[in-house]
Structure 1
Amino acid sequence: MNEPSNPVVRRLVAAINGGDRDAFMAVLTPDATLTDDGSARPLGEWVDREIFSANGHLTVDLEQEGGLRLLARYRNDTWGEMSTFWRFEVDGERISRIETGQA
């Protein structure tokens, strides 16, 4: 599988893989939250460090709940490649919550 079936999540994954921070942030609600391995993280700092300054890339292996839950291989220049989970809450055409961590 290459792309999630949920169109909002698909736009977010495309932004990650395209290195497009502006497109990534445009998919989020203004008050979007993020947790990494169960701990709340400052979203802007986290995406800069873990995704955009580290050449992050997400390869979706499995999706559930209409694309709102993903099992994916995630790699970046800092950590290499690892198996990760991603859960999203969508509010209209935007994502309001991201939960991620090692699977």
Structure 2
Amino acid sequence: MVNQLDPVVSRFVAAVNTGDSAGFSDLLTPDVTMSDDGSDRDVRDWVDSEIFGSNARMDVESVSDGGRALVANYTNDRWGAMRTAWRFTVAGDKIARFETGQA
């Protein structure tokens, strides 16, 4: 399933799953934005809290929109496991926006 992802989105998932915060940061545009359950959030604070500060993992279940949308079983130490939907806006080889929420 992961091989159907857009290459930039695939690197995003890999960085989350390996705890590679530096590699993750390199994937984002300087003005990246994001939303969680429909509310825009501060990207750096959210990523520190929900991904790298809580041992997050993504198990991709399905891929759509040319590999720029996915549904994943998302697990972290803060919230446990949940089924989540993700959408990505890719600009060149970077992510300009990502949106996530419960699926």
Which TM bucket (shorter chain)? over 0.9
- How much is the aligned-residue C-alpha RMSD, in angstroms? 0.9
Shift of 1:4: 4.5
Query: Please, which runs of 5 or more residues in structure 2 have no aligned partner?
Result: none
Identity %: 51
Alignment size in residue pairs = 103
The two structures have a TM-score, normalised by structure 1, of 0.96
Return 5+ residue gaps in structure 1 as ranges: none
Deviations 1:61-81 (A, max 9, x none): 000011101000000001100
Tell me the secondary structure at the aligned position of residue 98 of structure 2.
Answer: strand
Q: Tell me what 1:38 maps to.
A: 38
Structure 1 moving runs of 4+ over 2 Å: 1-5
Matched, 1:89 2:89: yes
Q: Normalising by the residue count of structure 2, what TM-score does the alignment of the two structures yield?
A: 0.96
CA distance in 2, matches of 1:4, 1:56: 21
Q: Counterparts in 2 of 1:5-24, with a 5 A limit?
A: 5-24=5-24
Alignment of 1:27-66 (within 5 A): 27-66=27-66
